[in-house]
Amino acid sequence: MADSPDFHAAKAMLEWQIELGADEAIAEAPVNRYDTAPPAPKPAPAPTPVARPAPAAPPPPEARADEAIATARALAAAAPDLSALRAAMDRFEGCELKRGARNLVFSDGNPAARVMIIGEAPGRDEDLQGKPFVGRAGQLLDRMLDAIGMSRTADDPDSAVYITNVVVWRPPQNRDPLPAEIAMMMPFLARHVDLVGPEVIVPMGNTACQALLGRTGITRMRGKWTDVLGRPALPMFHPAYLLRNPINKREAWHDLLTLRARLRDGT
């Protein structure tokens, strides 16, 4: 074993280390850095989750329908004339039928007419031309009116008619309008009647009767006077129904004569 350095040699070595800057003892014994793995770093704390508000659930269909009806009422009430009413209906976005239709089918005929005919909804031909009753059913309607001396093109209010529909956009595949679609269009229709001020209203078909009278069953209601929006009304078969059921044209002729008698005699 080698001799340990004497005091003076050890002191000289210590002083030399101090001059080099080693002025503090780290440990009692040397550490083999190759045998000791560095301590594992502490995991970073997980970020505190930021609370985000849950996305708002879409309103139920009933609430959306109620909102659309309220909007329709406000737009209709603010329309001072027929031109403004048409523009208000064109701005109305509550009815999904508008997105699939080509044209808004507002009306045809003479607004000063004593008679206002109300159908159900546009079909393909009406959607293309933007006028109600222009297809086969419309052609039959024109012949029916002509038989009692009336026309949509007449200038004289006594022999003229004014025509519109409950729904102004074509339903897909010509299906019947849904109750919700009818409900949201009723404020516009009621305002339409107020602005025209007809002496007599003629609801044609079940859809018009459902909208204006709250019930269906045109075969029971046709030809019987009732009240619609505070005005005398005479429900009639829709011309499209007569095209499918020509046997009922006799009853339709009776109803036309009843209308003519009311206009002529007031009874």
List, in order, residues 6 or more apart from 187 with CB less than 8 Å away: 69, 72, 73, 75, 76, 77
Tell me, what's the pLDDT at 62? 64
Asked whether the predicted pLDDT for residue 28 surpasses 90, the reply is no
- C-alpha 60/C-alpha 58 separation (Å) is 6
Paired tokens of 11: 């002191």
Categorise residue 25: left if φ over 0, alpha if ψ from -120 to 50, beta otherwise. beta
Tell me, what's the pLDDT at 11? 74
pLDDT tens by residue, 157-184: 999 999 999 999 999 999 999 999 999 9
**Range with the poorest average pLDDT among 18-32, 64-78, 127-141:** 18-32
Residues of the chain with pLDDT > 90, as a percent, come to: 74
- C-alpha 235/C-alpha 224 separation (Å) is 7
Q: Which residues of 217-237 are buried (b: 16+ CB within 10 A; e: fewer)?
A: ebeebbbeeeebbeeebbbbb
Question: Looking at residues 103-114, what average pLDDT do you find?
Answer: 98
Asked whether the predicted pLDDT for residue 49 surpasses 70, the reply is no
Task: Tell me the CB-side half-sphere exposure of residue 2, using CA atoms within 13 A.
Answer: 3
DSSP type of residue 59: P
pLDDT tens by residue, 182-241: 999 999 999 999 999 999 999 999 999 999 999 999 999 999 999 999 999 999 999 999
pLDDT tens by residue, 55-105: 655 556 566 788 999 999 999 999 999 999 999 999 999 999 999 999 999
**For the structural domain made of 65-265, what CATH number should be given?**
3.40.470.10
- Which of 267, 83, 262, 239 shows the shortest CA–CA distance to 158? 262
> What order do you get walking across the sheet with 200-203 strand by strand?
108-109, 161-165, 115-119, 200-203, 231-233, 226-228
pTM above 0.85, yes or no: no
> What are the structural domain ranges in the chain?
65-265
In the chain, beta strands by DSSP E: 108-109, 115-119, 161-165, 200-203, 226-228, 231-233
Asked whether the predicted pLDDT for residue 126 surpasses 80, the reply is yes
SS3 content of the chain, % helix, strand, coil (to 5): 45, 10, 45
| pLDDT tier, 7 (very low <50, low <70, confident <90, very high otherwise) | confident
Asked whether the predicted pLDDT for residue 25 surpasses 80, the reply is no
- C-alpha 221/C-alpha 182 separation (Å) is 20
